[in-house]
Amino acid sequence: MPYLPPLDDFRLILTHLAGYPALSKTELFAEAGAETAEAVLTEAGRLAAEVLAPLQRVGDRQPARLENGVTRTPPGFGEGFRAIAEGGWIGISAEESSGGMGLPLSLATAVNEMFSAACLSLQLAPLMSQGQIEALEHHGSDEMKALYLPKLTSGEWMGTMNLTEPQAGSDVGALTTKAEPAGDGTYRITGQKIYITWGDNDFAENICHLVLARLPDAPAGTKGISLFMVPKFLPDEAGAPGAANALRVVSLEEKLGLHGSPTAVMAYEGAKGWLVGAEHGGMAAMFTMMNNARLGVGAQGIGVAEAACQMALAYAADRKQGRAEGRGTIIEHADVRRMLATMRAQTYAARAIALLCAGALDRAKAGEAAAAAEAAFLTPIAKAFGTDTGCEVAQLGIQVHGGMGFIEETGAAQLARDVRVTAIYEGTNGIQALDLVGRKLADGGEAAFALIDKAVAEAEAAREALKPLAEALWQAAEELREATERLLALPVAARGAVAVPYLRAFALVIGGQAHLSAARHGGAERLALARFYLLRMLPEHQGLLAHVAEAGEAGLPTADELLA
């Protein structure tokens, strides 16, 4: 079905919640004012709707395949990627010195969401390159930047991330891929990597793999990991793709969804590579890639949620079933309206959190000291809640369709299949929650309390005009403050059992702030959705915070009890 970019949502959030007008007045982003932002969002939305959305079903029905060692991508994917590249969208937030636009990540996040909503399988390709671009900007040598960054931002070459091995998933420190010095400043990389998104394709001139590996006598665990650039084709003296490197695609994974995206098992057989960053400094570079990707993956979940909302709304407005007053279609049924309202309200909340996170990263880059801590705290929330939202809203979309949602021809099932992995990769959502209650609370809760204070300030600003909604947000924020204080009193090791419900409760409160802001600055439709969220969805936070009140693992069965 057609995709309609949610441009009004982006405008409302960026203007009234995420602080874009002030950001565009900073020296760094002085060229990214309201007119530029509007042009970027409008043009990216047009590309998503007209070029990428028609590829969504193609990729599912004609998946990527490996033929005699050559990866064949779905019809139209090469042209779709070139349209993304030629529009400059890969390098939208990359440095201008690298050939990028140098625009705020706030705009890049909105663009990534729209592309994800249109065709997630294809959007994964530029996302991988974006993560590699950021890693090289921070950790690459001047020579490496000069060679790779212009080609990655232009889309001539594509980037990947090679982290996972059969025995080393979330436990990255267990990897065994080896890197032997060749004596000429290069290294020979040997090992196998799995789950490599867009590990190969048939339209890019070169595929640039960032590979985690161990140098000889490296320390065990994560302290002994280094990062290497290992291209598919070795650049010649002119920087053009030359001889084939000693690497190959062993197979493409057969997956639940994302069939248009080739996920490769890669074999490195003494492949030539170059060190990125310092020896044993691979984790620092990896986290640069991962943090970029975590926000990007959160936007992917939100994009799929938006697509599911639009599909379900269109179906409910057209489907005649049972006795329905008014329009005479199922959208008049109370429970259908409950599901649709839940889908739309949760999607808006997740979108706002992602843009708040991106805005904080932009402000930090522009020199605002406190923004870095805010961005760090919001990143695991944006990733986990964004992807949980994608999964939950896509499932509700199937339910709205009824039996037709279970039939592949509608496309509703594809959205649920495609988005499911987003809650797993780039660090499972459980790992995001552990990061939140561990590293992100290591400041004594300073960043957490600052965000809670912003929610309270929103409630105070709306108290006169929207008293019941403002009081609901104020109460929830103060209960979150108390739960955070209780959590800080626990040893870090005891927080894991309550990490996931705490993260979601935090997301619900920030979502309430976003909806109250929308009710203050938007029209009647915004008020209706805010009322539904704040009075019917936000109270879920109390049940979630009850986990924290139980203090650590109290009430949680042991492994032996579960296996009994």
Residues tagged active-site: 426
User: Phi-psi category of 148—alpha, beta or left, where left has phi over 0 and alpha has psi -120 to 50?
Assistant: alpha
Contact 521, 12 (CB under 8 A): yes
DSSP state of 165: B
Nearest Cα residue to 36 out of 123, 84, 108? 108
CA dist 364 and 358 (Å) reads 10
Q: Which amino acid is at 304?
A: V
Question: What CA–CA distance (Å, rounded) separates 23 from 33?
Answer: 9
255 neighbors 196 (Cβ within 8 angstroms): no
Distance CA 368, CA 138 (A): 19
**Integer Cα distance of 57 and 63 in angstroms:** 10
Q: What is the DSSP letter of 219?
A: P
Question: How deeply is 552 buried, as exposed, middle or buried, from its count of CB atoms within 10 A (0-12, 13-18, 19+)?
Answer: middle
Contact criterion met (CB below 8 Å) for 263 and 255: yes
* 530 and 518 Cβ atoms separated by less than 8 Å: yes
Q: Which two tokens stand for residue 462?
A: 């709306």
Q: Where are the beta strands (DSSP E) in 183-277?
A: 187-197, 206-214, 225-231, 233-235, 241-244, 247-252, 263-276
Q: Which two three-digit tokens encode residue 40?
A: 């970027």
Q: Which helix (H) or strand (E) is 413 found in, with range?
A: helix 412-419
Q: Are 378 and 105 in contact (CB under 8 A)?
A: no
The encoded tokens of residue 548 equal 């924290």
Six-digit token string for 265:
């098992």
| Residue 254 contacts residue 261 (beta carbons within 8 Å) | no
Instruction: Please tell me whether residue 180 adopts helix, strand or coil conformation.
Output: strand
Give the single-character DSSP code of 168.
B
Q: What's the token pair of residue 305? A: 């949620």
Residues 192, 267 contacting (CB under 8 angstroms): yes
The angle formed by the CA atoms of residues 470, 476 and 478, to the nearest 5 degrees, is 100
Q: How many CB atoms lie within 10 A of CB 149?
A: 23
Cα separations (Å) of 314 from 1, 2, 66, 394? 9, 10, 37, 14
Distances (CA, A) of 450 to 371, 441, 456: 10, 12, 10
What are the beta bridge partners of residue 271? 189
